[in-house]
Amino acid sequence: MKKAAFALAVLSTAAVGSAFAQSSRDYISIVGSSTVYPFATVVAEQFGKATKFKTPKIESTGSGGGIKLFCAGVGVQHPDITNASRAIKKSEIESCAANGVKEIVEVKIGYDGLSVAHAKTGTPMNVSRKELFLALAKDVPNPDGSDTLVANPYQTWKDVNASLPAVKIEVLGPPPTSGTRDAFVELAMEHGCKEFDFIKAMKKADKKAFKAVCHTVREDGAFVEAGENDNLIVQKLEANPSAFGIFGFSFLDQNRDKVEGVAIEGVKPEFETISDGSYPVSRPLFFYVKKAHVGVIPGIKEYLAEFTSTKSMGQEGYLAERGLIPLPGDEYKGVADAVKNLAPMK
Amino acid sequence: MTNPTSPAAPGQSRGERNFARVQAGMKKRRAAETRFRLYGMIAVGLGLSFLLVLMFSIVSKGYSAFLQTYVRLDVPLLEEVIDPEQTRQLDTLRSADYGALVKQNLRDMFPEVTGRRDKFALYNLVSNGAGFDIRDRVLANPDLIGTTLSIWVAADDDVDMLLKGHIERTGPEADRRIKDNQLAWIDKLNAEGRLEKRFNVAFFSNGDSRDPELSGIRGALMGTIFTLIVTLSLSFPLGVAAAVYLEEFAPKNRWTDLIEVNINNLAAVPSIVFGLLGLAVFINFFELPRSAPLVGGLVLTLMTLPTIIIAGRAALKSVPPSIREAALGIGASPMQAMLYHVLPLALPGMLTGTIIGMAQALGETAPLLMIGMVAFIADVPQGIFDPSTALPVQIYLWADSPERAYVERTSAAIMILLAFLALMNTVAVLLRKRFEQRW
């Protein structure tokens, strides 16, 4: 017994030793946003099946985490592509460059709508971004009309605006680590927040204070952090018809028999309204490619070609079927050309 | 104890009075005894009923995933589509557009369907993988080209869900995943006997997929097996050696005390911490590949080692000292006494501890998150260096997917994980039964 165990130990040590010599990788490694993940995985699978290359490996790390891994350096142990549900920041490009990742190709793949939804059995509503801000922010302008901030006093939607139903404010949403939460705060709340002139004036005077007002979600129980699992939010909405949930459009699209989108400023979240830009809460999705890895890791060029082909990213492509809102015609053309030339960002 | 209680009468002796007093309290004591047992029974009953509810909900949601709806297609394998130049070269055959054949076949079956949108809806009845199934058949036997192939291919997940009753046929059309025209086509196919629920082979032979009907558990299962092999082959010898040295040979001093305290502490450290350690040491410092079962196994080794060492030491302690002394008494060296007499007797206990540690490792996701094993990996791993996931990770990923069909697959994957766990525990019980010694 002991002898066998000893032999096993030697064998496994040898295995570990041989791993140190690992110097090449024959599959594409992709990290990044959980919002882009459902689309990137579909492309990766198609690519793996249709070509002689291996199926790329895709990790869902969140946009920020993905860019951090991506920017760690050039070499097989670092990812080749990172997905992002927001544009890369200037500071991130700088930290990339500091680690030797100089040429990055940006590919915009389409749009994602953020939907506020309720159970089919709930009451339909039409809210504005200003009302969303008033209902969900931690501090709101004093209801008496003076230019001061008070802790959010609103308990029902009717308190926010007399034309809304007298339903208790209860919104389930993602935690602060999520890109969906970032996007919601930026696109819906900040926009609604800026409609108050004195807060807008703050932006110039004190950007930090402005952000603290517009980006802070209330913590008194009206906003419930429901974790990253959007299926869970859908289930909770079904159980509680008066509650609302915040998630990406693809979840709304897949669960239309259970939940219904809330119209924002009179526009319902639909494929068409997000695509033409009339639905106000939508954001672009991207992925970033490390140019230094193209030609070193097999298949990157072909993967890009698959992703940007009309049969995936086009108006009737299979990504549209999964809930991605495709780029309008001329914008798509620009992206497809840029990918062919692998034009890096400045 | 069965004496009848008699009322205390004057003239009784002191002993009799005491006896009467005890008798009077007897009823209360018995009642307390019964209540105490009842509490225990209630606790056991509650625990069992929770387990039953859990198992029922998993099995009732998951059993349908083992069946999958298939569509029979009679696809003419047209030479002008597959191999127009009649070269019969593998590359040509591989890259031909077999999806177009499937679409053509569907159009032929429903010639009344025109218009882009309707055609799209029609194509959506059959899985995206259908073309690849046909490709595999053609690659295996190129002589099929020119003939008509009758083949059962997976139906789309929405069709599958409809036939299994997980999505409704009624309700406003706009809210339904399956529209009225698709319902009519499905009913027609069904009437022609072209739809059939069969055993879901793909679930056991495929890796992960974003099409629920093509997704399978094999990639995750192989990843788990490779990871556990690495874990076992490292943690068992290391754990046994450490336990033997600490228990039998190490001098008792401040250093060994410190080591002992630390091992006990390590057993209670949250597993995510080991994941972070693995990321820093194995991936960032030693530059081992991300997402590989090798790294997963190393991290889980760190996690299970304390468990194995503690169990190993307990097993060694339980071997009677007389055996050790008898061996030493007839002239065996301490090492001989250890290897030939004590260790074989302690081994069943050590094995049990090891398998408990392995079962813990089997269910871990948190440390794997840090080292990149929570990822979309479609190819089935072939070795400990290939990127792979593990069973609990697959469950987590499916639970988070928007498509309805993943609900049943999540439950089915949980069933597989539980079956794997039960198998490991059975092995542990059998091993113990076989080697156990009693004194």
Q: How does pLDDT run across A184-199, given as a tens digit for each residue?
A: 888 888 888 888 888 8
Q: Which residue has the tokens 């689309």?
A: A39
Give chain A positions within 8 Å (CB) of B385: 19, 22
User: Smallest CA–CA separation between B40 and chain A, in Å?
Assistant: 35
The confidence band for B1, taking pLDDT boundaries of 50, 70 and 90, is very low
H or E element in which residue B22 lies: helix B14-62
pLDDT, tens digit, 9 for 90 and up, residues B206-244: 999 988 999 999 999 999 999 999 999 999 999 999 999
B252–A contact, CB cutoff 8 A: no
**Residue A45 is nearest to which of B95, B210, B375, comparing CB atoms?**
B210
Q: Which residues contact B143 (CB under 8 A, 6 or more apart)?
A: none
Which of the residue ranges A241-250, B83-92, B123-132, B336-345 would you say has the lowest mean pLDDT? B83-92
pLDDT, tens digit, 9 for 90 and up, residues A73-107: 898 889 999 999 888 889 999 999 999 998 999 99
Domain covering A113-282 in this structure, CATH number: 3.40.190.10
The confidence band for B90, taking pLDDT boundaries of 50, 70 and 90, is confident
The pLDDT value recorded for residue A23 is 56
Q: Which fold has domain A25-111+284-341?
A: D-Maltodextrin-Binding Protein; domain 2 (3.40.190)
Tell me the β-bridge partners of A244.
Answer: A118, A171
- Locate the chain B residue with the closest alpha carbon to A78: B290
Average pLDDT over residues B44-61: 95
Q: Which residues contact A188 (CB under 8 A, 6 or more apart)?
A: A114, A129, A132, A133, A264, A280, A281
- Mean pLDDT in chain A? 84
B179–A contact, CB cutoff 8 A: no
Residue ranges of the alpha helices (H) in B70-217?
Answer: 79-82, 90-95, 98-109, 116-123, 130-140, 157-163, 180-191, 201-205
The confidence band for A12, taking pLDDT boundaries of 50, 70 and 90, is low
Give chain B positions within 8 Å (CB) of A65: none
Query: Cα separation of B324 and B344, whole Å?
Result: 12
> What's the alpha-carbon Rg for chain A, to the nearest Å?
23
CB contact under 8 A, B128 and A11: no
Instruction: Specify the domain boundaries for CATH 3.40.190.10 within chain A.
Output: 25-111+284-341, 113-282
- Strand A171-173 versus strand A244-248 pairing type: parallel
CB contact under 8 A, B339 and A2: yes
Q: Per-residue pLDDT for A4 more than 60?
A: no
Query: Cα separation of B186 and A149, whole Å?
Result: 59
Q: Which residue has the tokens 């972070």?
A: B276
Q: Per-residue pLDDT for A21 more than 50?
A: no
User: What is the torsional sign of CA B53, B58, B59, B60?
Assistant: positive
The confidence band for B22, taking pLDDT boundaries of 50, 70 and 90, is confident
Query: Cα separation of B156 and B167, whole Å?
Result: 13
The confidence band for B437, taking pLDDT boundaries of 50, 70 and 90, is low
Q: Which residue has the tokens 């595999």?
A: B136
pLDDT, tens digit, 9 for 90 and up, residues B283-315: 888 888 888 999 999 999 999 999 999 999 999
A153-to-A150, A157, A211 alpha-carbon distances in Å: 8, 11, 20
Q: Per-residue pLDDT for A22 more than 90?
A: no
H or E element in which residue A149 lies: strand A149-151
The confidence band for B411, taking pLDDT boundaries of 50, 70 and 90, is very high
Q: Are B81 and B100 in contact (CB under 8 A)?
A: yes
Q: What are phi and psi of A118, to 5 degrees?
A: -135, 170
Whole-structure pTM value: 0.80
CB contact under 8 A, A2 and B343: yes
The confidence band for A235, taking pLDDT boundaries of 50, 70 and 90, is confident
Q: Which residue has the tokens 């009519």?
A: B184
The confidence band for B258, taking pLDDT boundaries of 50, 70 and 90, is very high
> What's the alpha-carbon Rg for chain B, to the nearest Å?
32
Which of the residue ranges A200-204, B172-176, B304-308 would you say has the lowest mean pLDDT? B172-176
The pLDDT value recorded for residue A18 is 46
What 3-state DSSP class applies to B281? helix
Sequence length of chain B is 439
The pLDDT value recorded for residue B326 is 94
Higher pLDDT, A20 or A122: A122
- Locate the chain B residue with the closest alpha carbon to A318: B128
The confidence band for A17, taking pLDDT boundaries of 50, 70 and 90, is very low
The pLDDT value recorded for residue A58 is 93
Which of the residue ranges A14-23, A175-184, A330-339, B415-424 would you say has the lowest mean pLDDT? A14-23
Q: Per-residue pLDDT for A273 more than 90?
A: no
Average pLDDT over residues A23-27: 79
B176–A contact, CB cutoff 8 A: yes
Q: What is the 3-state composition of chain B as percent helix, strand, coil, each rounded to the nearest 5?
A: 65, 5, 25
Nearest CA among A41, A45, A75, A46 for reference residue A59 = A41
Average pLDDT over residues B121-130: 88
Average pLDDT over residues B23-50: 94
Q: Per-residue pLDDT for B83 more than 70?
A: yes
DSSP 8-state symbol, B212: G
The pLDDT value recorded for residue B7 is 53
Q: Which residue has the tokens 């260790």?
A: B343
User: Smallest CA–CA separation between B237 and chain A, in Å?
Assistant: 6
Q: Which residue has the tokens 């072909």?
A: A302
Query: Cα separation of A339 and A43, whole Å?
Result: 16
- Mean pLDDT in chain B? 88
Average pLDDT over residues B368-382: 90
Amino acid at B117: R
User: Smallest CA–CA separation between B223 and chain A, in Å?
Assistant: 14
Which of the residue ranges A10-14, A66-70, A236-240, B168-172 would you say has the lowest mean pLDDT? A10-14
